[in-house]
Each structure stands twice: as structure tokens, then as C-alpha cells.
Copies of this chain bind each other. A is one copy, B any other.
Amino acid sequence: MAKGDDLTELEGAVLTEIHHHGNHTAFAVARAFQRSMSAEWSGSAGAIYPAITRLTKRGLIMRSEARTGRKTRDLSLSQAGIDALAVWSCDAERAVGLGLDPFRLRAGLWRRLPAVRRDAQLEAVRTALRARLAELEVRAGEFDDLEQTAIQLAISLERLRLRWLDEAFAS
């Protein structure tokens, strides 16, 4: 297994979405990405359809024949797809990577701000963090329990950032 290239993060997320919802169309996958709270991607057709085409060519996704006169195709994972998803999701090295974190890129610079600007900036960030947290907590109910886990982690992350601001800038 895993002789072919590894899956990208988006491809793994697409396989996850298809595998944990029966009879998903490509359109439904795109919509799920759009509505997702952990919005790392736009869920645009220009990303989703080519990704699904790639995964289909690699034999990881199967497309059912059109149900009705409609052009819709229901998607599901082949056994190879299920295996590839397992390999992707269990890649501990990748899971542990830091990812692209906009907060971490900027936080060091706030230190260098003159005191007045810095206090204003920290207050603005705290406000934004609280707003995000409130939104996450309110909207958490809309999602299934796979997404729940992601949302709980997102909440933990935002709380960590709030705590970190208090500790790192305690004057």
C-alpha cells in the first residue's frame, strides 16, 4: 500500500466527507466544505470537481450511474479509497505538523508595537477571538459528530490563544 503518491490535505478531506455520508454528490461535498466552520478551503467547484476527477482516476472513488434523467452521480469509496483514507488519516507525522497558522505568524510582531498601539491591538485580537468562540459555540449544533471533533479542537485553539495573550503580555 501507499506506493502511489500521498493524498493532499484537501483530497483526504474529500474522501472523509464522502466516506462518512452515504450517497454524497460532488455538489454536496462542495457545499459541506462551504458550510464547514473550519474553513481552510472555499469549497469552490474549481477545486472539488478536479479533485474528485483525480481521485476517481486513481481508483479511490466510484461514481454510480445517473439515478434519473439528472446528471447527478452518487460517490462512494472503493476498497482502495478506504485504505488510502486510513493511511492518510493515520499519518502521525503529518497530523502533528503545525500547519499554516496566521496567529503564530503575527504574534511576535505585536511585541514590537509601541505600548499604546500594542494594547489596542491586543484588545482587538481578544475581541475577534471572543466573537469566533461565540460563533463556534452557537453553530456547533448544526454539525454531525465528525465535524464536532474539529469544532471542539477549534474552540480549544481559540481559548489557548486567549490564555496565551494574557500570559505572554502580562505586564
Contacts and interface: CB of A to CB of B under 8 A. Distances in A.
Interface residues of A, number: 57
B95 A148 contact: no
Interface string A36-51: 0011100000000000
Interface stretch (A56-64, A67-75, A155-163): A155-163
Contacts of A129: 96
Given A38-B101, A40-B101, 8 more contacts: A92-B127, A94-B102, A95-B102, A95-B103, A97-B102, A104-B154, A107-B149, A152-B168
Copies of this chain, count = 2
Q: Name the residue in A9, A106, A112 with the highest tally of chain B Cβ atoms < 10 Å from its Cβ.
A: A106
A2 interface: no
Contact of A157 (B91, B109, B150, B157): B157
B146 A156 contact: no
A100 to B, nearest CB: 4
Nearest to A121: B90
Contact of A100 (B9, B20, B93, B157): B9
A157 B160 CA distance: 8
A32 interface: no
Contact of A40 (B20, B94, B99): B99
Interface in A66-120: 85, 88-112
A134 to B, nearest CB: 12
A140 interface: no
A89 B102 contact: no
A139 interface: no
B102 A38 contact: no
A121 B92 contact: yes
